[in-house]
């Protein structure tokens, strides 16, 4: 699939952010922790949610969809999700913790997803072993077995979001108390803990370095609405600043966007915070900045590519250091095709700003790289074509329509071609 972007048109209007992709995926996985009815509201219509829902269905869970909600009924009749589903998104590996807790025997293929680094699962497996599971590998699958899971003290060598989530879910039904030290601090971790607690779980300390999970025998029915997507919000903030104009981004939690907001203001953009909205506009030239990606509350790696696309037109040279993933500059080659001046040295990129970009035919290599190309296309001279735009659909609901609603020439910022 392809998206065409008409450049050099300012954006005006209001855009509403959907529920967080990185929150909804572990929450859906955690729905395996009980057989009781559970309802999740404000489900985003994105590819990753479709895939993880298919994973749950393959395990025996009955799922009904009502407008923007999903309702889950019944229990699990399988402990081995199909490889053809698991390979599509990395978050599918998050079913391992709940399945281990519920079934005591689980087999999951090594995960897939965006090609932005190795992202090993060793921290997940060390956590399961600490809870009493025996881990083996066979035919590209990870096999975990445990008659009973027991609470333990688990120290993570790195504050991995996925490992924190997987261990938290497994520990929710373990005997005794589990402590996860050096846990990830992301808002999505807090949201998962709140969801587990809404089912009768006992998780405290989420959002802090040490999370305490008191295992319970059973979790119960719940209805829950996930937090807004801070990365989607940040992407629209960057688009507004890059293209010019004035955009109101609604359904956000400003506290979750502090790192992005601070850097945007540093570049000369104006950011006005409300209770659940942010207004972004830019009239001054873009000032160069230094960015280093870090675990939350630092600058998010999921916003690195979008910010780089914005800094291409800064008045001076900017530096971006990627400290989270070792292979997350794949978008640079495509930006160079548009005339960007970027030099990579290891995990650092130096962006020499310039006044104009030129439209080109480019390829989205992953989800956030695709979003970066959209932002670059908004500022380029002419019409940019983005191939492999299905990557963007993995994490942005209705992004073409939302940008079209922000105006531009005859209301047509983008149009999508489903040919080839």
Give the closest residue to 16 by CA, choosing from 56, 68, 60, 51: 68
Query: Measuring CA to CA, which residue among 412, 358, 416, 380 is closest to residue 7?
Result: 380
Task: State the catalytic residue, choosing from 61, 85, 109, 114.
Answer: 114
Helix, strand or coil, per DSSP, at residue 248: strand
Judge whether 250 and 15 are in contact, CB under 8 Å: yes
Residue 114 annotated among the catalytic residues of the structure: yes
Count of CB atoms situated within 10 Å of the CB of 348: 15
> Are the C-beta atoms of residues 283 and 239 closer than 8 Å to each other?
no
One-character DSSP codes across 254-287? GGGGHHHHHHHHHTT-EEEE-SSEEEEE--SPPP
CA atoms within 13 A on the CB side of 78: 13
Burial class for 179, CB neighbours closer than 10 Å (0-12, 13-18, 19+): middle
Q: How far apart are CA 151 and CA 128, in angstroms?
A: 10
- Active-site annotation, residues: 114
């Amino acid at each position: 699939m392809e998206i065409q972007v008409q450049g050099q048109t300012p954006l005006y209007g209001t855009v509403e952010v959907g529920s967080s992709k990185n929150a909804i995926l572990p929450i859906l996985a955690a729905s395996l922790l009980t057989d009781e009815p559970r309802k999740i509201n404000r489900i985003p219509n994105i590819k990753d949610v479709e895939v993880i829902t298919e994973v749950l269905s393959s395990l025996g869970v009955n799922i009904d969809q009502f407008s923007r909600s999903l309702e889950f009924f019944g229990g699990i009749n399988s402990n081995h999700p199909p490889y053809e589903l698991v390979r599509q998104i990395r978050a599918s590996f998050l079913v391992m913790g709940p399945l281990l807790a519920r079934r005591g025997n689980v087999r999951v293929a090594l995960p897939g997803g965006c090609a932005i680094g190795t992202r090993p699962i060793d921290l997940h497996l060390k956590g399961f072993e600490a809870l009493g599971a025996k881990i083996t590998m066979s035919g590209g699958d990870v096999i975990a077995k445990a008659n009973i899971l027991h609470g333990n003290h688990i120290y993570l060598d790195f504050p991995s979001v996925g490992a924190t989530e997987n261990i938290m879910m497994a520990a929710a039904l373990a005997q005794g108390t589990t402590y996860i030290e050096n846990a990830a601090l992301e808002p999505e971790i807090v949201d998962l803990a709140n969801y587990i607690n809404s089912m009768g779980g006992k998780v405290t300390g989420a959002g802090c370095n040490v999370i305490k999970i008191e295992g319970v025998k059973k979790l119960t029915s719940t209805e829950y609405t996930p937090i807004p997507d801070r990365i989607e919000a940040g992407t629209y903030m960057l688009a507004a600043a890059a293209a010019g104009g004035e955009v109101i981004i609604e359904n956000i939690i400003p506290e979750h966007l502090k790192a992005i907001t601070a850097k945007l203001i540093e570049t000369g953009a104006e950011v006005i915070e409300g209770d659940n909205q942010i207004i972004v506009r830019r009239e001054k030239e873009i000032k160069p900045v230094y960015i280093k990606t870090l675990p939350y509350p630092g600058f998010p790696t999921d916003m690195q590519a979008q910010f780089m696309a914005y800094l291409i037109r800064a008045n001076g040279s900017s530096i971006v250091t990627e400290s989270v993933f070792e292979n997350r500059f794949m978008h640079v080659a495509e930006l160079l095709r548009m005339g960007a001046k970027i030099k990579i040295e290891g995990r650092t990129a130096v962006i020499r700003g310039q006044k104009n970009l030129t439209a080109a035919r480019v390829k989205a290599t992953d989800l956030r790289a695709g979003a970066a190309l959209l932002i670059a296309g908004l500022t380029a001279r002419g019409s940019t074509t983005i191939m492999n735009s299905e990557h963007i659909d993995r994490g942005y609901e209705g992004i073409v329509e939302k940008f079209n609603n922000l105006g531009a020439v005859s209301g047509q910022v983008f149009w999508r071609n489903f040919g080839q």
